[in-house]
Amino acid sequence: MALYFSLILHGMSDLFFLSTGYLRASCMMESMELLNQSQVSEFILLGLTSSQDIEFLLFALFSVIYVVTVLGNLLIIVTVFNTPNLNTPMYFLLGNLSFVDMTLASFATPKMILNLLKKQKIISFAGCFTQIFLLHLLGGVEMVLLVSMAFDRYVAICKPLHYMTIMNKKVCVLLVVTSWLLGLLHSGLQIPFAVNLPFCGPNVVDSIFCDLPLVTKLACVDTYLVQIVIVANSGIISLSCFIILLISYSLILITIKNHSPTGQSKAHSTLTAHITVVILFFGPCIFIYIWPFSNYSVDKFLAVFYTIITPILNPIIYTLRNKEMKISMKKLWRAFVNSREDT
């Protein structure tokens, strides 16, 4: 477990310390030259389309998806933490993943939905960088949580006799806290470079929300080195987590070949849900940051998929493919209905 997180942590910290000195010096020198120039106080988001009819359709569609996403993930959280049968490490991590998904869907989606009804989509400077900070914070947290869930499945399947000893309550809490710390580190390494850049002219962001690669391009100085750090930072954590997950699930699949057919079926069902979430989450993320500035229409689609579609997949995949979760939800619903009838 320590090896999983040390690989990510060391890679990010080494990158940061190697680039900090030079980047700060170069950015400060160029910023001083532009200090007296007017600063941008807001950014204009171009959104998905210029067609008002399509925007109305997207408003209705995204509103429904957002409500279902929030309610679905909230239902998972309530079910996990109110059902004794689900008081296991896997469901504890799943409940935390649902919380992150619900927050990830809310950091930019409500404003994006409201912007679909506006002709001019404006966001303040502070609001823009708040979106950037939350995007990378929550994205980093979710990546590490998915690694934690893979570690949990590895221990459960490959070391079943030691499962409850290794995955005790303290370890589960430590995994969640570590995911938030690494997410904070991932976001904190990049934001200071971007927020201190001088923005004195262009303020049009060709996207549905603010993200670092597009916003840094609007600065009045050469941001080539800053963009390299952004791509390297996000690319390293995305790719390293993805590789660790591939190795983990490969080891698990090799191990379950020796299990009984019944055990294989249950393990395959659980792993299929996990692997599906991993691929759908990491695919757009790796594409955006390993091949940035490629095609704006593709990037917009991936941005929508990453922030709106992906968070709804968690409740869909984990509930439809999980008998325990479906049974627990039905019991919780019956208990709720009975309590209302009694009153």
pLDDT tens track for 79-113: 998 888 888 998 999 999 999 999 988 988 899 89
Query: ∠ CA 319-153-170 to the nearest 5 degrees?
Result: 100
User: What is the predicted pLDDT for the residue at 295?
Assistant: 57
3-state secondary structure the chain: CHHHHHHHHHHHHHHHHHHHHHHHHHHHHHHHHCCCCCCCCEEEECCCCCCHHHHHHHHHHHHHHHHHHHHHHHHHHHHHHHCHHHCCHHHHHHHHHHHHHHHHHHCCHHHHHHHCCCCCCEEEHHHHHHHHHHHHHHHHHHHHHHHHHHHHHHHHHHCHHHHHHHCCHHHHHHHHHHHHHHHHHHHHHHHHHHHCCCCCCCCEECCCCCCHHHHHCCCCCCCHHHHHHHHHHHHHHHHHHHHHHHHHHHHHHHHHCCCCHHHHHHHHHHHHHHHHHHHHHHHHHHHHHHCCCCCHHHHHHHHHHHHHHHHHHHHHHHHHCCHHHHHHHHHHHHHHHHHHHHC
pLDDT tens track for 220-268: 888 888 878 877 777 778 888 888 888 888 888 888 776 656 556 666 6
Assigned domain for 10 exists:
no
User: What is the predicted pLDDT for the residue at 243?
Assistant: 86
Assigned domain for 163 exists:
yes
Assigned domain for 217 exists:
yes
Tell me: pLDDT of 28 over 50: no
What are the tokens at 279? Answer: 């691929």
CATH of residue 243's domain is: 1.20.1070.10
Residue bearing tokens 């979106």: 131
pTM of the model: 0.81
Taking the chain, what is the end-to-end CA distance rounded to the nearest angstrom? Answer: 49
Assigned domain for 11 exists:
no
> Where in the sequence is the domain holding 92, given as residue range(s)?
39-331
Residue 224 near residue 129, CB atoms below 8 Å: no
Least confident of 24-38, 67-81, 309-323: 24-38
Assigned domain for 27 exists:
no
Share of the chain above pLDDT 70, in %: 80
Residue 101 near residue 280, CB atoms below 8 Å: no
Rounded to whole angstroms, the Cα distance separating 216 from 194 reads: 6
Q: Does residue 263 or residue 273 have the better pLDDT?
A: 273
What are the tokens at 58? Answer: 């997207």
User: What is the predicted pLDDT for the residue at 265?
Assistant: 63
Rounded to whole angstroms, the Cα distance separating 45 from 210 reads: 8
| Domains in the chain, number | 1
Assigned domain for 308 exists:
yes
Count other C-beta atoms under 10 Å from residue 162's C-beta. Answer: 11
Assigned domain for 203 exists:
yes
Least confident of 10-14, 26-30, 130-134, 155-159: 26-30
Closest among 282, 275, 238 to 253, alpha carbons compared: 275
Count other C-beta atoms under 10 Å from residue 341's C-beta. Answer: 7
Residue 311 near residue 73, CB atoms below 8 Å: yes
Assigned domain for 87 exists:
yes
